[in-house]
Every structure is written in structure tokens, then in C-alpha cells.
A and B are shown apart, each in its own frame.
Chain A
Amino acid sequence: MTNVATTVQRRRATPARPPRPRAAEPGPLRRFLRTHWYAWALTAPVVIVMSVVIAFPFARGLWLSFTDADRRNVSTRIGENVTPATYEFVGVDNYVAILTGDVGDFWARLTWTVVWTLACVACHFGLGLGLAVMLNRRVALRGVYRAVMILPWAVPPFVSAFIWRYLYQGEYGLFNAALRGMGFPGVEWLGDPFWAKVVVITINVWLGVPFMMVALLGGLQSIPGQLYEAARVDGASPWQQFRHITLPSLRPVAAPVVLIGTIWTFNQFPVIFLVTGGGPARSTDLLVTYAFRLFGDGTYGVASAYGMVILGLLLVLGVIYQRALRREGQAW
């Protein structure tokens, strides 16, 4: 840095050479492009693809959320049957209808979605951290344990969903067979709203713990060993070491993965859709699976508004979370 600064100063100090004449001073845009054209050329494909696959559908979804579009009034042209579009702009009617609970069962779905997200993320983090701490020690066959632990993550969610569904099956499932074998009556796992909720949370926890574990394990390995040595010299107990070294040092890793995990869980589609289909009596439908159901019913306007409300909730969550971290001196 100092070199550059001195060079500039030296140039300024020698005005003897007259400035080279120029045709015209380039505008700020020109200058900007001249300096950065290479960067723009490199990012152009991404920018174009992003605008096609995200910006355009997003804008269209936003527009539809202000209309009364449904499967009967959008335009279709099939063979000789041509139906013109007749849907209309209705302003914020869809949003009002959703937030007042007139359509879409919004508050009940939101309550369950929040319960589901908190329960799942708390278990992901707690179990993930526990496993990460265990695997961070020097134990025999550590590599094997790590590979086995990561397995649920590698299995496609739909495969896991079907396997679990089979295990919980009322008549022939393994869990009920075990219960009956021990002399208890079987439980109607998927037919009872309470147990169905327990089942989907269990499955999602099983699916999500490996990700959390791997992320936290990475965080644990980046904590310098000297900190623990120093603490031991000072006579800190293992719990004190965990409380005052491990947890604070993990925060830069834990904070983003918890946010990502929260968003993923909030929008977790396959587990609910494939295991319970939202039933019984809609009790396990999350906001996203319910929005999908609205699309299935062909109420595109309302469904788009529903999607926008979900997006809004997550944006608000993200902003609050980031603010909270920044207040604690964590920028990421």
C-alpha cells in the first residue's frame, strides 16, 4: 500500500510533463464498464440464468398473487379448444383473505409450522452437537462412525420417507409389531393427529441431524487446542470448558447453519407430503404443503399470495436473526 501511495504522490509532484490530450473524458458508466467488463462477462451467464429461473417466475408469481387467477380463467390453448384469460386484478384481496383466515386455514397452519420448525431445529442442533462432540474425540473407528452417521443425509428423502412410513404402518409396521410383542396395544401412528405429528418430527430430525453434525464437527476442529490446554491449567472443569470455550467458538459456524436449518425445516416438503400427505384431517400440513395443495386445487391467485406470505415470513426471520447476531458482535 505504501508503495502505491508514494508513487501517486511522486506523480503529482512532477507536473512538468503536460497531460496527454484526449478526445473526450469517458462517462462514469463507460469507465465502470472499462474497469469491470471482465467481471461482468464472467458473471453474465449466472445473472441471465438467475433472472430467467428466479426473477421472471418470481415477478409472475407476485403479479398472480394480486389477481383472482384460477384453473378456470387462465388462458389455455389445447388442440382446437382455446380459452382466453379472463382473470382480473383484485389488489390485496387474496392477502386479506389469507390473513383474516377466510381461506387457507392460515393461522392454524402457521402455528403448527412454527412448532414443527422449533422442535426439529432444536433436536437437530442438540443431537448434532452431541454427536459432533463425541466424534471429535479420539476414539477407535472414528472414520467408520462418521461415515455411518452421515448416511441418513445421503439417502434421498423420498426413500427415507417410504421406509419410515412402512415402519410406522399400523397393521404390519415394525414399531407396532414390537409394541404388540411386548404386550402393549399398537398405536395408530399415522391416523392420529398427535402421533402423526410426532412421527413426522422424528423422521425429519433423523434426516437433518447429519448435516448439523458435520457442520458443527467442522467448527469444533477449528477451535485451537491451546485454549483447552490453558483452561485445564487454570483448573476449568469439562463443563466449564464446553460452556466458555466450545460454545462461543462454535458460534460463527452455528449461527448460519441454524438459520439455514430453520429455513429448510420451515419449507420441508417431502417428509410431510410423502409420509402423511398432510393428514389426518390436515393436521400435519405445513404452510408449504398447504400452498401446494392450493395449487393443486387450481386457485393460482390465492396460492401465489400464500407463497409470498411464506417468503415474507422467512425474510423477516432472516433479518431479525441477522440483527440479533450483529448486536452480539457477530457479522457473517
Chain B
Amino acid sequence: MRLIRVVGAGAGLALAVTACSGGGGAAEGDGEVGGTITYWDTSDAENEGPAYEAVIADFEEEHGVTVNHQFEDFDDARDRFDRAAASGDGAPDVLRTEVGWTADFASLGYLQPLDDTPALDDVDDFLDGPWSSAQYEGTTYAVPQVTDSLALLYNADLLAEAGHDEPPTTMDDLATVAGDVSEETDADGIYLHVEGYFLLPFIFAEGGQWVDDADERITINDPEAVAGLENALDLMNSDAALSPDLGESYDVMMAAFREGDVAMIINGPWSMGDALGGPAFEDAENLGVQSLEAGGPTGGHNYSVYAGSENLETAYAFVEYMASTETQSRIAEELGTLPTRESAYAAPAVEDHPIVSAYAPVMEASQPGAWIPEAGQMFVPFDDAYEAAVLGDVSPQEALDGLADEYQALLPDWE
């Protein structure tokens, strides 16, 4: 038995491999909308969930179908869908795909092509940025749901107390204002969340990029990107910033901002509701939004249909409904998320919504992503490299050189 136990340790790993190569289910429907579909929702179940539940209930009633609406943790959803789709077992009919995942899943054959299906409706109405993330090799594999980008969120009272009536517009100003807040008030100036995606504005500000997909070049260790990382580290390690807690970086950022312990953070529109729930922003006017120097990355989410779905017609109808102008407006009105349809902004309740209007200039400035299949796998090593640099294990240049090596393994044909 002893040997068997030892062998079993390796076999467990081997088992995981075999699980990744099973056959898929058949894709056939009776051509009518009905029955049950499963939808994996990666939105924030607590803050955003109720609004989505309400619109989905209306869809169920309208079409006499059942939507098995499951909230999946965003951080795990990519891996879980990857495993489920590859093994042909347990994948949902419809999935909320982050813009960076869509090309990845499409290239692996997990997603159903949506051109000429009922899922796509009035396609010219979609904004260019989100729409481009739904395309892979000339085919549409998703329908844009929401778009977003990173901006500077600030506590106007704290800035005023430090003598700044206007928020900073450049990274240099940001450091100055953060320093003043730390000196003049009880709060710290800024908290930087240690995650690669949140570092991008600093890299953009120096004129850097993580990859250049037009020239097929890995640019994450170019001097501009290194300078961006150095600036972020300098700021983080200065007296102006609350030093980051790598264990729970995001939660600490939001808690400190909500409580008024820190005056500025960099975050997206999804966090506005969370921030407004805190004592520092009982007066919503106190929460300011400012575009970053060279913009943030274009983020957002799409609806995708699993190619192995056994109820494609209902999945199409569901996606069409969820991405329709009415649904987008309704959700935007309630949550302040940014619609992906031009027409959805026309409703006054959306256009004048404080969060939507605050983020309009942010979206203008945002930089388009590289919609390549490998993008989905590029975040984790980016986070690790950023953490290593923050810990001081390696210099910024070494951290990004190591990251470039990992990207080279993902993109062997690139320069």
C-alpha cells in the first residue's frame, strides 16, 4: 500500500490531465426558445446582483424559460470555465467573459460564433472599443455587456483640506497632491493596489505598453514600462502613500478609501457603489472622478455562448435581451455601469447619472487592449512580477525582464 500511495500522488496530477481532453456535448436545439439555461455571472453578487436578478426575472417571465443564474467569483471564473469547457462537463450555456478572455476562449473553440444568429441585434450601435474585444479572426464570439476603465477616485474634502481644490491631472501632480494630503491631514495621500492591471496607467503615462499587437512585439520591459513601474514604486514607498498589504491589497484599498483614511485610489466604475457606502462619502458629492494622465486600460465584460450548449436558441435569445438597449439602460440607471451601446446613453437617466457622466471623459481617454488569445493568461504572471518588485526581491528592470520572458513563452513568434 505504501508504494500505491506514493504512486497515487503522481497519478492525481495525471488524472487532472486526462480530465482536460474529454469529448464535448452535442450542440443541438429544437429551434425554439424554452427550457432551462445556465448563466455564469461574474459581477459583484452583493452590489450588482439584485439589479441583474430583476432583469433576468423579467426575461424568464416573458419567454417562459428558466435561467439558472449562478454568481461565479471573478478571480476563479476563467479557470473554472476553461476546465469545464475543455472537459465538456459543467460549462454554462451563457458566460460573462471579461474582455481579455474572449479571444482566448474563442481561439480554443469554446465559444459559439454569433454572426447571423438572433443573439446579435443592431450591431452598428455598439461602441468601437467594446465591439473590437468581441471579435476573433473576423468572427463575432461575444456581445458586449459593459465597458470600463481605470480612473483616479478622490476624496474632495481631504484634497481641499490639503489646499488642492482641483484633482491632479498628471502623475507628477498626483505625487505632489498625495504628499500634501499626507502632511496636512490625518489621512494618507494615496493607496496603490498591487495588481498588474492597476499598474498599467503608470506605464501608459510614460508612453509604455505591455504588448504591441500591431508589431507583434513584447514591450513590457521597454524603458517606458520600467519607468512606469519605478514611478509607482517610488510613490508607494514615499510618505505620501499608505503602504500596501499584499495579502489583501484590494480590500484594504477599498476599506481605507471608504473610511476616509486615504484620499485617492485608482479604480474603475464598478467600485463606486462600494465607495459610496462608506462614511467618507455619505455626501456623494465628495467622491470625485478624474481621468489619469494617459488614460487607463479599456476593460469590461461581454456575453458569450458556450459552443457545447444544448439550448442554443434560448441562449441566443437571452444574450440578445441582456445586451439590448432597454436592459443596458436599466442596468446603467441602477448601477451606474457604462453601457456598450450608443443608444443606451440616450436615456436621460443614464446620461445624467453621476457615475456614468463622471466616467465619460475617462472612457474617452482609455487605451484599447490587445485582444489576443494569450491575453487571458498574461495577468497572473504580471501580478506576480509586480508583487516581487514591491517586495524588493528584484529591481523593477529585473521584474519586468522576467515577465517579458514569460510572455515570450506564451507568444513564441513575437519579438
Of B1-9, B53-61, B146-154, B270-278, the segment with at least 4 beta carbons within 8 Å of chain A is B1-9
Instruction: Flag if A80 contacts B245 (CB, 8 Å).
Output: no
B117 → chain A closest CB, angstroms = 12
Residue of A nearest to B91 (CB): A78
Q: How far is the CA of A71 from the CA of B247 in the complex (A)?
A: 30
Asked if residues A78 and B7 are in contact (CB atoms below 8 Å), the reply is no
Rounded to whole Å, the gap between the CB of B385 and the closest CB of chain A is: 8
> Which residues of A from 190 to 240 have beta carbons under 8 Å from B?
190-193, 196
B109 to A83, Cβ gap below 8 A? yes
A308 and B11 alpha carbons, distance in the complex (Å): 9
Min C-beta distance of A130 to chain B, whole Å: 27
Smallest Cβ distance from B39 to chain A, in angstroms? 17
The chain A residue sitting closest to B8, CB to CB, is A54
Find chain A residues with CB under 8 A from B246 CB.
Answer: 188, 190-192, 279-281
Closest CB in chain B relative to A172 CB, distance in Å: 9
Give the contact stretch, choosing among A12-20, A112-120, A311-319.
A311-319
Given contacts A72-B107, A169-B248, A190-B248, contact A57 B14 (CB under 8 A): yes
Q: Mark A53-90, 1 if CB is under 8 A from B, else 0.
A: 11111111110100001011011111111110100000
The 9 residue pairs across chains A and B that have the minimum distance between CB atoms:
A61-B14, A190-B247, A79-B27, A311-B10, A307-B13, A81-B109, A79-B307, A78-B24, A191-B246
Q: A310 to B380, alpha carbons, bound, how many Å?
A: 24
Contact B24 A79 (CB under 8 A): yes
Q: Which of A29-37, A131-139, A292-300 contacts B (4 or more CB under 8 A)?
A: A292-300
List B contacts of A163 (CB < 8 A).
Answer: none
- Bound Cα distance A104, B413 (Å): 21
| B284 interfacial contact with A, CB 8 Å | no
Chain B 173-194 interface mask (CB, 8 Å, partner A; 1/0): 0000000000000000000000
- Interface flags, B358-393, vs A, CB<8A=1, else 0: 000000000000000100010010001001101101
A94 interface hit (Cβ, 8 Å)? no
Given known contacts A78-B110, A170-B252, A307-B10, is B23 in contact with A300 (CB within 8 Å)?
no
Distance of A58 Cα from B8 Cα, bound (Å): 8
Number of A residues whose C-beta is below 8 Å from B?
64
Chain A residues whose CB sits within 8 angstroms of the CB of B24 once the complex forms: 76-79, 81
Q: List 19 A-B contacts (CB under 8 A).
A: A56-B18, A60-B14, A60-B17, A72-B108, A76-B21, A78-B25, A78-B109, A80-B27, A170-B245, A171-B252, A279-B384, A281-B387, A281-B391, A281-B393, A295-B13, A295-B17, A295-B20, A298-B82, A314-B9
User: What residue in chain A is nearest B385 (Cβ atoms)?
Assistant: A281
Nearest CB in chain A: distance from B2 CB, A: 7
What does the 1/0 interface line of A154-165 toward B look like (CB < 8 Å)?
A: 000000000000
**A-facing residues in B396-412 (Cβ within 8 Å):** 409
Bound together, the chains give a CA A98 to CA B255 distance in angstroms of 41
Question: Measured between C-beta atoms, what is the minimum distance from A46 to chain B in Å?
Answer: 10
User: Is A78 within 8 A of B85, CB to CB?
Assistant: yes
> What residues of chain B lie closer than 8 Å to A69, measured between beta carbons?
17
Q: Which of A159-195 contact B (CB under 8 A)?
A: 169-171, 188-193
How far does the alpha carbon of A292 sit from the alpha carbon of B373 in the complex, in Å? 21
Residue of B nearest to A64 (CB): B17
Interface positions, chain B 7-56, Cβ under 8 Å from A, are 7-11, 13-18, 20-21, 23-27
- Check if B334 is an interface residue, CB within 8 A of chain A: no
Pick from A77, A79, A307, A318: contact of B2, CB below 8 A: A318
Given contacts A57-B11, A315-B6, 5 further A-B contacts (CB under 8 A): A57-B15, A188-B246, A196-B247, A263-B9, A292-B16
Per the bound structure, the CA–CA distance linking A199 and B306 in Å amounts to: 41
Instruction: Encode B323-363 as 1/0 by CB contact (under 8 A) with A.
Output: 00000000000000000000000000000000000000000
Tell me the complex Cα distance, A76–B17, Å: 13
A271 located at the interface, meaning its Cβ lies under 8 Å from any Cβ of chain B in the complex: no
Instruction: Name A188's closest neighbour in chain B (CB-CB).
Output: B245
A24 to chain B minimum Cβ distance, whole angstroms, is: 39
Question: Is A129 in the interface zone, CB < 8 Å from B?
Answer: no
Is A311 a contact of B307 with CB atoms below 8 Å? no
Do residues B9 and A304 form an inter-chain contact, with CB atoms below 8 A? no
A320 at the B interface (CB under 8 A) = no
